[in-house]
């Protein structure tokens, strides 16, 4: 049975289990991660097995700062240092050529590794106490909704010998931005809370590309970019605001920002229309909708056209990317 644990004893137990090659669920500011020793290929393999994750989907390596990051990559570049100084700890993952000490399983057999320093005191305490980097894919069965609180993790792995270190609700709520720095032009592989304009400013005004993820024979360099992800078990689709206004079907669970949750009638799960709060509440609302008795989930398209700043627009673009995969068939 999975167990939710807290307090200093939880960190000690987490370190002990990581040292024994056992997965540990831990909080970050984005979503809960499923941790394992990044240098131990058997421990990393156990994470893949537990999640049912395809070996073609690489993992992010979590570190306590730039000093530990240098143990993971072949060369720590000036651009990487600029991003880390400005945004670490925080929801930005940097892709660089990997150090030979990182097992190939972490990187889907590729030559690059994704690394980030999470902005959560418990995550940092766990990494510091373990004194080694840890992988941390989302702590849910592969392809399902990412977890943003301990109960979500426990629900995904109810019959597993897993400890879940309680860090409360994740305040960011969606996964980190992933930026590839291995080429001359920085390229965002996965959208997140930190957008292209913010990264370009950090890097002195250089051009930053957005990857189009055209299928290639090369190993993926980022998680969350191949196939369906973030999916509830209940069939799910995006709808416009006009459709939500007249939705009274009790077989539909509605996730909406334009209708107060207290309106009543059917299954209604409200989201804030402001970008950061919308992102923070999205997965939680999806978990709630998936747990009710509806036969379909409708999600109101987020109000991206009402975004007042480039930062808000970047968040809504990241949310839309998640929702496109959550509603993807096959």
Residue 297 pLDDT exceeds 70: yes
Instruction: Label residue 43 by pLDDT band (50, 70, 90).
Output: very high
- Rounded to an integer, the average pLDDT of 192-200 is 97
Residue 201 confidence (pLDDT): 97
pLDDT tens readout for residues 236-294:
999 998 888 767 677 899 999 998 765 555 689 999 999 999 999 999 999 999 999 89
Dist. CA 28–CA 123, nearest whole Å:
6
pLDDT tens readout for residues 138-158:
999 999 999 999 999 999 999
Residue 246 confidence (pLDDT): 66
Residue 62 pLDDT exceeds 70: yes
Cβ neighbours, 10 Å, residue 172:
22
Residue 251 confidence (pLDDT): 87
Cβ neighbours, 10 Å, residue 100:
6
The domains found in the chain, sorted by start residue, are: 3-210 (3.90.870.10), 236-326 (no CATH)
Instruction: Label residue 225 by pLDDT band (50, 70, 90).
Output: confident
Dist. CA 94–CA 179, nearest whole Å:
5
Residue 170 confidence (pLDDT): 98
Mean pLDDT of the chain: 94
- Rounded to an integer, the average pLDDT of 47-51 is 97
Residue 293 confidence (pLDDT): 85
Contact status, residue 115 vs residue 67, Cβ threshold 8 Å: no
User: Which residue would you say has higher pLDDT here, 84 or 228?
Assistant: 84
Residue 259 confidence (pLDDT): 84
Helices and strands: H and E segment counts in the chain: 10, 15
Q: Model pTM?
A: 0.95
Element (H, E) at 318: helix 310-326
User: Which residue would you say has higher pLDDT here, 250 or 302?
Assistant: 302
Angle at 172 between CA 98 and CA 177, to 5 degrees: 35
Instruction: Label residue 18 by pLDDT band (50, 70, 90).
Output: very high
3-state secondary structure of 190: strand
3-state secondary structure 66-106: HHHHCCCECCCCHHHHHHHHHHCCCCEEEEEEECCCCCHHH
Residue 248 confidence (pLDDT): 65
Q: What percent of the chain has pLDDT over 70?
A: 95
Instruction: Label residue 202 by pLDDT band (50, 70, 90).
Output: very high
Residue 190 pLDDT exceeds 60: yes
Instruction: Label residue 21 by pLDDT band (50, 70, 90).
Output: very high
Q: What is the dihedral of CA 315, 316, 321, 324, to 10 degrees?
A: 150
Instruction: Label residue 233 by pLDDT band (50, 70, 90).
Output: very high
User: Which residue would you say has higher pLDDT here, 213 or 320?
Assistant: 320
Q: What is the β-pairing status of strands 33-37 and 24-26?
A: antiparallel
Cβ neighbours, 10 Å, residue 315:
29
- Rounded to an integer, the average pLDDT of 289-313 is 93
- Give me 264's structure tokens: 């009543």
């Amino acid at each position: 049975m999975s167990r939710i644990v807290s307090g200093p004893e939880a960190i000690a137990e987490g370190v002990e289990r990581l040292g024994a090659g056992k997965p540990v669920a831990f909080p970050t500011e984005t979503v809960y991660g499923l941790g394992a020793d990044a240098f131990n290929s058997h421990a990393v393999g156990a994470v893949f097995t537990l999640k049912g994750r395809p070996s073609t989907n690489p993992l992010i390596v979590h570190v306590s700062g730039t000093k530990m990051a240098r143990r993971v990559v072949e060369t720590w570049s000036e651009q990487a240092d600029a991003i880390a100084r400005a945004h670490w700890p925080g929801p930005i993952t940097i892709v660089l050529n990997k150090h030979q000490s990182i097992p190939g399983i972490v990187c889907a057999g590729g030559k690059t590794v994704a690394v980030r320093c999470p902005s959560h005191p418990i995550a940092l305490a766990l990494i510091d106490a373990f004194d080694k980097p840890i992988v941390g894919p989302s702590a849910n069965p592969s392809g399902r909704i990412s977890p943003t609180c301990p109960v979500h993790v426990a629900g995904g792995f109810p019959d597993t010998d897993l400890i879940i270190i309680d860090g409360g609700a994740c305040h960011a709520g969606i996964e980190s931005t992933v930026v590839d720095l291995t080429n001359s032009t920085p390229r965002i592989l996965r959208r997140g809370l930190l957008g292209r304009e913010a990264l370009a400013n950090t890097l002195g005004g250089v051009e930053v590309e957005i990857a189009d993820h055209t299928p290639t024979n090369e190993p993926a360099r980022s998680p969350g970019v191949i196939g369906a992800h973030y999916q509830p078990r209940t069939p799910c689709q995006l709808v416009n605001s006009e459709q939500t206004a007249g939705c009274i079907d009790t077989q539909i669970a509605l996730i909406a920002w334009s209708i107060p949750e207290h309106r009543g009638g059917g299954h209604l799960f409200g989201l804030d229309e402001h970008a950061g709060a919308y992102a923070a509440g999205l997965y939680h609302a999806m978990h709630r909708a998936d747990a009710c008795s509806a036969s379909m989930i409708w999600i109101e398209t987020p109000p991206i056209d009402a975004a007042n700043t480039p930062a808000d627009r970047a968040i809504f673009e990241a949310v839309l990317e998640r929702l496109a995969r959550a509603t993807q068939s096959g």
